[in-house]
Structure formats: C-alpha cells, structure tokens
Amino acid sequence: MKTLYIYALIGALIFSSLQGIFASGGFGGGGVAGQALRGKEREKFNLGKAIYNAEVALDAKKEDLVKSQKNRLEYLQGSLPNSEKGRVNLEDLAGKLSEEQISALEFFVSIRFNVKLEEKKD
C-alpha cells in the first residue's frame, strides 16, 4: 500500500512539472511588444516617452499655444488608466510643447495605453 502512495506522489510531481513546461505564461502581443516600430516611428515613440516621463527639457510656456494644446492634453490625460492619472499631469505641459513634441506624446500614449486618437479634420 505504501508503494501505491509513493507512485501517486511521483505521478503528481511529474504531472505538475509538465504543466509548468507547457503553460503559455500569458498572452503575447498588444502594446508596444505587439507592434514593431521602425525608423521614424521608433524615434517619435521614444520622444513621446521621454516627454511623458519628464526626461526632456521643454520650452518656456507660450500663452498663444496654451488653449489649443490644453484641449489635446486634456483628452490624453482623460484617456490614461487611473493608475497613471495620479502619476502624471499632462495638462501642465500646455504651451510648453512644439507641434512635433505634442504629436510624439500623442503617438506614445496611443501606442503605450492603446488609446484611439481622434482623426484630425483639415
């Protein structure tokens, strides 16, 4: 009878170790990992990331840009997950970004947090 218990224990150990080998460990894709950014897109993403993480020196606030940028930044701030909303305040950047910088920030947020940005109408 003891040998039956020992065989059952060995079988359970082997079965549990095989489950670990064949388990997927998660779902791949989505976010940045699921998208291969190349060339200009990678540069734009990295610039947006640096702005998002406050790793870039910004220009002095230009009052003529504040209103137009505030609307765009409010939308981005509202699109962030709750955990990020408390960490960063994108609206504080209004008037301090060039068009290239705000575009890069929008690109970064859209990729990193899977945010659908509104199409610009010309």
- Cα separations (Å) of 50 from 23, 43, 101, 102, 107? 36, 11, 10, 12, 12
CB–CB of 100/63 below 8 Å?
no
Could you give the CA distance from residue 40 to residue 3 in angstroms, rounded to a whole number? 66
- What integer pLDDT is reported at residue 91 of this predicted model? 96
Number of CB atoms found within 10 A of residue 67's CB: 10
Note the pLDDT tens digit of each residue in 57-107. Answer: 999 999 999 999 999 999 999 999 999 999 999 999 999 999 999 999 999
Q: What is the mean pLDDT of the chain?
A: 84
Does this model's pTM top 0.75? My answer is no
Look at the block and give the residue holding tokens 């199409």: 119
- What integer pLDDT is reported at residue 36 of this predicted model? 74
CB–CB of 95/69 below 8 Å?
yes
Note the pLDDT tens digit of each residue in 13-46. Answer: 777 666 655 555 544 445 554 567 888 999 999 9
